[in-house]
Every structure is written in C-alpha cells, then in structure tokens.
Structure 1
Amino acid sequence: MPTVYITAPPDAAADLVERLLEERLVACVNQFPCQSTYRWDGAIHHDDEVILLAKTTDDAYDDLVACVREHHPYDVPCIERFDETDVLEAFASWREDAVE
C-alpha cells in the first residue's frame, strides 16, 4: 500500500485534505509546514508550502492522483508515490477499511 507525498500552498492544503477524506481516497493525511525552494520558469522561488503524507491503497491511488490534479492550484503539483515494504498489519488493515 502506498503513502503519497504531495506538496500544496498553505491556503489550499486543508481543502485538498478534506476533499480526499470526504471522497474516501485516503485514510489519513499528515501535514507538515515547510519552506520550498525550487526553479520554475527559469527563476528560483522560495515559498511556504505544506507537505501532505497521504495514506491510501493501491486501488484508490489513481483516483487520488486524479483528484489532486483536478483540485490542486498548481499547474504541475508534486505527487510522489512511496510503496511500503513493511507496515504494521493492524495499521494496514485499518487503512484498507477506511479507504473505499
């Protein structure tokens, strides 16, 4: 089962998380404020962002990506999938039950 790493601007992160939870595409999302420095359109930018670690399932992953792409304010949102090789069985079971 995957954990999905997503970054979003602070003013959009909470709405995105609520949508993912309401649509049952994730079981849980951890949120961490961060400062991102990146190159875009030939210039270096420094922006406040929120890191979202979204716990989902293999079956819901494609729908999660589609939802983020549709509702994220960036033209090119950061969406990275981390597949777990070891996870507590009770946690995996809870996540499976929470995501439809």
Structure 2
Amino acid sequence: MSPRRHRRAPGPERLDEARARHGVQSLESGPDGDWYVRGIAGGQAEKAYRCPGCDQEIGPGVAHVVAWPADGPVDERRHWHTPCWRARDRRGPRRTRRR
C-alpha cells in the first residue's frame, strides 16, 4: 500500500497594504477622454470635498470616487459622488463656488 501524501493548501495571498489603503485604481475610457479612477470607501473618507458634478459637498465617511485625467498630473484629481461620476457624460460640471 502506498503512503498517503497530504498536500498543504496554498496560504492566503499577501495583502498589498498600499493598495488596500488607497483603493484599486483603474483606467476608464469615456467620451471625455481616459481617466484614472479610484473608489474610496466610506471608512477611508476623512475630509469633506466638493463634487464637480453637482457642486454639493461630499462629507467625511461618504463613499465616493476620485478621478484624474490619464494624460494629466495627479494634482488634477477630483472627488466625485459615484452617481455624478457615472452621469458625467449626460451633464456637464456645475458652476463651482468661490472659496
């Protein structure tokens, strides 16, 4: 009789902490060009931002999207409500308020 060979199950993959902390970044193409997009979980959102799609505040703790042009610098990133980001091809950016 042959001996049984137990194979060790593969262990869990290592977590990429930087990726987990900053979300998964993807490249999206649309009629307004190519954009890098990153989803921000509500627990990661610590500051208030103004959405360029609706000109309303995105409060701390609210899940949203960060997007910036693929051919532009990261300094051009903007925080959007997720529905506003998805509807950007149907409506243009709202007038921004002066600070």
TM-score, reference length from structure 2: 0.26
Going by fraction, where is strand more abundant, 1 or 2?
Answer: 1
Greater C-alpha Rg: 2
Going by fraction, where is helix more abundant, 1 or 2?
Answer: 1
